[in-house]
Chains A and B, each alone.
Chain A
Amino acid sequence: DIQMTQSPSSLSASVGGRVTITCRAGETIRSYLNWYQLKPGKAPKLLIYAASSLKSGVPSRFSGSGSGTDFTLTISNLQPEDFATYYCQQSYNTPWTFGQGTKVE
């Protein structure tokens, strides 16, 4: 299985601020990397697919970058509704695997 490592595991941020979350794959996964947002009691949301493609309807303050083994999710101008937990996921090889999550508080 491809191991995915996210950092940090949690971070504190303020409304209007900028947040950067890092995801590292245990081997190259080219651009096969997705980002999700999870909130308790709600359906998880896909934010970014193929490392940098923004899902339709997702605010442009979310952006993704990277390829190979190192990836980044950036949230600019953080909004109150962005406080959540974020997960990266590789889709290079099954079984799909996720990072351990980053909680934005």
Chain B
Amino acid sequence: QVQLQESGPGLVTPSQTLSLTCTVSGGSISRGTYYWSWIRQPAGKGLEWIGRIYSSGSTSYNPSLKSRVTMSVDTSKNQFSLNLGSVTAADTAIYYCARENNWNYPGSYYYFMDVWGKGTTVTVSS
């Protein structure tokens, strides 16, 4: 059974870079046709999709964050990572990593996030 675990600093200084890693256990990150995603939830607010990465390194980012986001994958460690630059208090949130699976119905590919980590809280403050 695949499990995901986020890790990284819980406190980041404004204007610095937030760096998180998601470790995948119970399965290979490079096996299958999965994307690996990051999602965040500011306190008291809804969910925001940050972006995703394929095991090949191909990425897709939310345009609202694209100028500050970089994602990478390390297949040897079975991990993928998120870097978010120039952070402000607005980036304070619970950050989740998730596996994005797909279902091929003839003529269509349906994407959904079927395995999630428990999330890690990141606070941006001096």
Binds A, one of B11-19, B23-31, B45-53, B73-81: B45-53
**Across the interface, do B48 and A49 meet the contact criterion of CB distance under 8 Å?**
no
Which B residues are CB-close (under 8 A) to A89? 47, 49, 112-113
The secondary-structure label for the interface of chain A is loop
Task: Report A59-97 CB contacts with B as 1/0, cut-off 8 Å.
Answer: 000000000000000000000000000010101001111
Question: Which residues of B83-126 have CB atoms within 8 Å of chain A's CB atoms?
Answer: 96, 98, 103, 105, 108, 110-119
* B110 in contact with A42 (CB, 8 Å): no
- How far does the alpha carbon of A101 sit from the alpha carbon of B103 in the complex, in Å? 24
**How many residues of chain B are within 8 Å of chain A by beta carbon?**
26
Q: Is the CB of A100 within 8 A of B46?
A: yes
A44 in contact with B116 given A95-B62, A99-B46 (CB within 8 Å) = yes
Q: Which residues B40-71 have CB closer than 8 A to chain A?
A: 45-49, 51, 60, 62-64
Q: Give the residues in chain B near A50, CB-CB below 8 Å.
A: 103, 105, 110, 112
Name the one of A53, A95, A98 contacting B103, with C-beta atoms under 8 angstroms: A53
For the complex of A and B, the 10 pairs showing the least CB-CB separation, nearest first, are A49-B112, A95-B62, A98-B47, A96-B49, A91-B111, A50-B110, A43-B116, A100-B46, A34-B112, A44-B116
18 cross-chain CB contacts under 8 A = A1-B63, A1-B64, A43-B118, A45-B116, A49-B110, A50-B103, A53-B103, A55-B114, A87-B46, A91-B110, A91-B112, A94-B60, A95-B51, A95-B62, A99-B46, A100-B46, A101-B46, A101-B47
